[in-house]
Structure formats: C-alpha cells, structure tokens
Amino acid sequence: MSIEQQSRREFLKTSALVATGFSLLSNELLAVPKKTATRNIGVQLWSVRDDMGKDAKGTLAKVAKMGYKQVEGFGYSEGKFFGIPTDEYAKVLAGNGLVMPSAHGMITSKDFTNGQLSDDFKRMADDAKKVGQKYVIAPYMVDEDRPKGKLMAEMFNKAGEHCKAMGMKFGYHNHDFEFVKYDGVSLYKTLLDNTDRNLVTFEMDLYWVKYAKENPVEWFKNYKGRFTHFHVKDHDPVKNVSVEVGEGDINFQQIFNSKLSGAKYFIVELEAYKRTPLEGIEISLKNLKKLRF
C-alpha cells in the first residue's frame, strides 16, 4: 500500500477517534446529450486536500474555472467546512457556480447508543441540509466496527431515517476491506443485505473494487439500483496505486454501460499523483467527459 493510500485511511481513522462520531451506465440511465454530460460529474475535494487546507476559497474558484459544477465535501467539523462557517461556505459555493450534492463525514458505532443517533450526527445532518446536500455519506469504517456488520447496518438505517425526514439520503463509501469476510460473509454483502434501499445508498469507489479484485458489474447484478454514486479514479497496474482517469487499466466505459447500478453521480477522486493535484483533477475531468454515460 502506498504512503498516499495509507495517509487517507489514517486521516479518516483519526477523524473518527478525535471527533468520537461525526467530525468532521449507460445513456439510458442519464439520458443527457454530450454537451450537458458534466452536470453529474463532480470532484471529491480530498483530491486537492493540501490546496483546500491552504486556501479553500481560492481552490474552489480554481475547481470551478476548470469546468466542474459539483464538488463532494469532507472535513466537516463543529459547524464548519474547511474552517469556514456553514452559512459562509454555502455562499462561497454559490459564488463560484458550484453545488455540493454530497459530502463525507465520519460515523462510528459510538454514534449509536440504545438505538439513538448522537447529537454530533444530528448537527452534521442539519448543516448538510443548510449547504444544499442531498446525500450524507460515511467515507470509512474504523477497524473495531468492521466485525459488527449487522449493527452498523442497523445504525445506517437509523441514519437513513433521520436524513430522509430532512429530505436527504444516507450513504456509505467503500474501500477494499469491505470485501473481507466475517463469519463467511463479506462486510459489503452484510451491509447491502441489511440496509433498506429506500434509506441507504452506496457510493462505489471503482478503484478500490478493482484493488480488491472484485467486479463492479457483478455487484450491480446482485444489488440493482443500490449504487447512486461512483468514485472514479483509475488504477496503475504496475505501482498498484490510484492515477488520473484514463491513465490506468480500469475499463470505465464497460462499467458505465451497465444499466443496473443506478448511478447518478460520477465523482473524480485522486489519492496518489503523477502531477499536481489540480492538474490531475483537470485531466481526469477531460478524460471522464470523453466517456459515454
């Protein structure tokens, strides 16, 4: 595993522990002309995390200038995104012609006591609504929660109920460890089997599925319509790290051609780089727009 991949995992794990909860396809599917295909293409801002840390407002302006209309957030904490108060952050997005349909925020079993969600989760959901989010997505599962698949699914359903009441939906983003089996069943299957499709969606990270030597289309066949979001980053078969879209060995067109996933959002994400992060997400955008959705 690369240093970049490890740092991503360590960041998420540390965020969970410190916060003790929320710290933080085919043409038929989308049916849009090529000239408007970018409307459901976004970028996970973790891709430009260092730039966001130094100058969040300036970086958002650069992201918008290169042609992105949507972003996916992370780093929510105590009423702020990237250190910017929620109300002000919403204005920054709007001022750059950006929307943020989804954002990542940690949730652990510590956020679920006696069948009730923590106040931290509820506050995060409130602020998600304020910035116009449609989805609240958990980006990771800490080590100690992974053997508790059914409990985590129960918590996800409860989070889904809470989000639905607010006009949003709860989701979960995978890495590769979800394909590890506990009592003979993979964690991913346990989560899919025990969550309500009307309450919980899944954001499939296509790179991590490839990394785990799984076939995305087979999962679509078994769980039709459960994957409203894709994380789109490519796979370098030599270094076994993520690379810009179109510069690795993932056949995205074959995946997008499936009519079964339910994908609506195609979100660029980078964890390792061959060039600067901003250059990388711009190249990924250009290459992703060449594909048929």
Q: Which residue range is the domain that position 245 belongs to?
A: 3-289
Encoded tokens for 150: 């059914």
Cα angle 145-146-149, degrees, rounded to a multiple of 5: 95
Percent residues over pLDDT 90 in the chain = 84
Pairing of β 116-117 and β 181-182: unpaired
Higher pLDDT, 143 or 273: 143
Per-residue pLDDT at 38 exceeds 50: no
Distance CA 152, CA 65 (A): 39
Q: Is the pLDDT of residue 52 over 60?
A: yes
pLDDT, the chain, mean:
90
Does the pLDDT at position 35 exceed 90? no
Say if residue 71's pLDDT is above 90: yes
Separation between Cα atoms, residue 293 and residue 290, nearest integer Å: 9
For 9-33, how does the pLDDT look when each residue is reduced to its tens digit (9 = 90+)? 665 655 554 444 434 333 333 444 3
pLDDT digits (tens, 9 = 90+) for 146-194: 999 999 999 999 999 999 999 999 999 999 999 999 999 999 999 999 9
Q: What is the pLDDT of residue 34?
A: 44
Closest CA to 127 of 158, 153, 88: 88
What is the model's pTM? 0.88
Domain CATH number, residue 205 = 3.20.20.150
CA dihedral sign of residues 246, 247, 251, 255? negative
Give me the mean pLDDT over the 260-266 stretch: 96
**Count of domains forming the chain:** 1
